[in-house]
Structure 1
Amino acid sequence: MKPSLKSTPALRITLVCNTAWAIYTYRQGLIRTLIGRGVDVTVLAPRDRTFELLAAMGCRCIELPVASKGTSPGEDLRTLVALYRQYRTIRPHVVFHYTIKPNIYGSIAAKLAGVQSVAVTTGLGYVFIQHSRAAQIAKRLYRFAFRFPREVWFLNRDDQAAFIDGKLLAHPERARLLHGEGVDLEQFTFTPLRERTQFRFLLIGRLLWDKGVGEYVEAARQLRARYPHARFQLLGPVGVDNPSAITRAEVAAWEQEGVIEYLGEAHDVRPFIADADCVVLPSYREGVPRTLMEASAMGRPIVATDVPGCREVVADGVNGLLCEVRNAQSLAASLARMLDMSGAQRRAMAERGRQKVATEFDERMVIETYKDLVQKITGVLL
């Protein structure tokens, strides 16, 4: 008979990321499930405004030094040592690592501390976008660190294939395809498109050049004279700790030019999605973008780049349109196609998008994967 949570001491599960914001934004469903089952959840991440929100959910939050910009050996060693010390103190039953540096240094620290860990590759970022010396070093570090986790989870097939083909996995049999981290279909309910004269495009996410924000701005410049009723909006944090970050001054210049409306950032994106007619993500590469899943769940047609991650969510011509990556002209052409569609065509896309997300990206399926692995490692049935 398998032990139940009621008959055993509380499980200790730790979530580690380079931003607390990402833990709060993308894993609320998981956290609610774990805490609801009596699990002691600790979040290790650089401190930001979401520490208080995570604490209100029942998490213990501990500040973690992570230098997301640059590749300073001293800073990275500091991260590794801090993780090792925390794991020795907390003694978690399982640690889940997200994003590049927690995946690499957290996997090593967990091995040294004798802690079971899982690496979740939420997106390959600059390592597979750029061909720099730093990217080559990161690949070598991945190859070393990823021999230690119990499992390595990938959000899309392209990322999994890139690691296997690049021989970055010492134990390929430990790789698992998660197919995105899912979306809460009850929280992100279908909202019919509005009938109005204005048309609002919305790009949601951290304001990074790698997200295709520059191409989005240039596409807006190309289209605004031809489509004066179209508005181009940005929602998300600016000036974040990332090598590809866009500054607030750059955004202000676009606002002054009149080409972009910057909406700031928000804990709850649902009102903004509901107010949009189309959600746009011209990213260079993704895991499986949560914002696109949320937008489709709410019934918004999408324009995105034909890259790993985005094409998992968007079936071209079905629930949205795909364009060429790093190509503002191709993006502008797809945005124009969306504007030229009839309302009935866009509504049909919206309905198909909701159906696709409900079939393929229901968050409950992802949470079951977490629960199954925790049970395998600890013997405790959540």
Structure 2
Amino acid sequence: MTAEKSRLRVALVCNTAWAIYTYRRGLLRMLTECGAEVSVIAPRDRTFEPLIAMGCRCVELPVASKGTDPRDDLKTLVALFREYRATRPHVVFHYTIKPNIYGSIAAKLAGVPSIAVTTGLGYVFIQKSRTAAVAKRLYRLAFRFPREVWFLNQDDRAAFLEQNLLAHPERAQLLHGEGVDLDEYALAPLPPREGFIFILIGRLLWDKGVAEYVEAARRLRVRYPHARFQLLGPVGVDNPSAITRTDVDAWEREHVIEYLGEAHDVRPHIANADCVVLPSYREGVPRTLMEASSMGRPIVATDVPGCREVVDDGVTGLLCEVRNASSLAGKLERMLTMDAQQRAAMGLKGREKVAREFDEKAVVERYRGTIRAVSGISL
């Protein structure tokens, strides 16, 4: 390890430390092994401890993800500005809406190079509300400043360009998903059994199509009582689209849904399922679908940006219409009644697609090249 490498300082900023730990461990490993000082700046959660164990420096950040009070957002901006002025990172990567907006402004004010990574456009492009309109104006201001703006799919990049949200369109770059570790999410055979398990994995948000999933489950349980419909992920999260524990309790009492809570490791749940479902309204490139395909699980998802990046309709899974419980129920029924060998073949095709297009190693190399180009320091 050279002294030059040990001096490299990289910061990753997100509205949850959990997302940094869960989705970017390969990047963190590469940086720490190369001797970089890595700062994870996010609200404190249970992943601070494992991040510190990996060699990262964790900094608690105030972020009101659901809030619209400008005083809270000013606190976020000021906290980031002070952090950047104090530590002078060579490059900062911002993820999710508020870090992207306020972090990009703070980095500019502090004279620090930054990259904005739009992991999904979320409620800003799903809802037509005053809050969404304000967010777009803030994007237009803030995205003047990053060296590059990375999008996870072509649709998201096109949306920003069409709505003139990028002062420097040439800085819009495509990062084809954030990748999955093919060894960690190894191929697992479909479980041999009489029953059938569908699972939806992710933060429990209405925008993830959970209402449509529940309604489809209601309809199918009547005809296919052996079918089980599971939900795995945090409830009541800090998001405008959050589902409450009261909603989940009602579905459980109705015996239509099995709520599995949260899991540090989703692999046993994917391995135990016959099909992974994500009826989302819009995504970046959903990690849960890449993980499911990597493990050989067929998928049912919506034909929307992000999901259709991962799912080849009729080949690795099935796509349904967005916000349409009837269409979703039809695709789930088709998956349920499909020959087991057909489902297994879909899963294998999914594994091949992930290995070809979403290998985490390629994503880590993209980060490595960008850090070298911005900082002038080789890793």
TM-score between the two structures when normalised by the length of structure 2:
0.99
Q: For 1:25 and 1:185, how far apart are their aligned partners in 2?
A: 14
2:129 pairs with 132, 139, 163, which one?
Answer: 132
Paired position in structure 1 for 2:140: 143
Structure 1 SS opposite 2:223 = coil
Structure 1 SS opposite 2:191 = coil
1:357 aligns with 2:357: no
1:300 pairs with 284, 297, 300, which one?
Answer: 297
Q: For 1:50 and 1:370, how far apart are their aligned partners in 2?
A: 22
Shift of 1:70: 2.6
Shift of 1:192: 1.0
Compute the RMSD of aligned alpha carbons: 0.9
Task: Decide whether aligned partners of structure 1 residues 87 and 254 sit closer, same or farther in structure 2, where only a CA change above 3 A counts.
Answer: same
Shift of 1:195: 1.4
Q: Which runs of 5+ in 2 are unaligned?
A: none
Letter in 2 for 1:115: V
1:340 aligns with 2:337: yes
Structure 1 SS opposite 2:249 = helix
1:62 pairs with 59, 64, 88, which one?
Answer: 59
State the identity as a percent.
74
1:374 pairs with 366, 371, 375, which one?
Answer: 371
Paired position in structure 2 for 1:14: 11
1:77 aligns with 2:100: no
Paired position in structure 1 for 2:186: 189
Q: For 2:3 and 2:310, how far apart are their aligned partners in 1?
A: 39
Paired position in structure 1 for 2:107: 110
2:287 pairs with 285, 290, 296, which one?
Answer: 290
Q: Which runs of 5+ in 1 are unaligned?
A: none
Structure 1 stretches of 4+ moved >3 Å: 4-9
2:36 pairs with 36, 39, 42, which one?
Answer: 39
Structure 2 SS opposite 1:231 = strand
Q: Report if the CA contact (8 A) 2:6-2:36 is conserved.
A: no
Shift of 1:58: 1.2
Q: Report if the CA contact (8 A) 1:15-1:95 is conserved.
A: yes
Q: Report if the CA contact (8 A) 2:280-2:322 is conserved.
A: yes
Shift of 1:253: 1.1
1:232 aligns with 2:229: yes
Letter in 2 for 1:356: K
Q: Report if the CA contact (8 A) 1:42-1:60 is conserved.
A: yes
1:216 pairs with 204, 213, 216, which one?
Answer: 213
Paired position in structure 1 for 2:153: 156
Deviation string, structure 1 residues 300-350 (Cα, Å, up to 9, x no partner): 000000000000000100000000111111110000000010001101101
1:27 aligns with 2:24: yes
Q: For 1:60 and 1:7, how far apart are their aligned partners in 2?
A: 19
1:50 pairs with 47, 51, 65, which one?
Answer: 47
Matched pairs, number: 379
Q: For 2:200 and 2:212, how far apart are their aligned partners in 1?
A: 11
1:179 aligns with 2:171: no
Q: For 2:68 and 2:282, how far apart are their aligned partners in 1?
A: 21
Q: For 1:130 and 1:7, how far apart are their aligned partners in 2?
A: 47
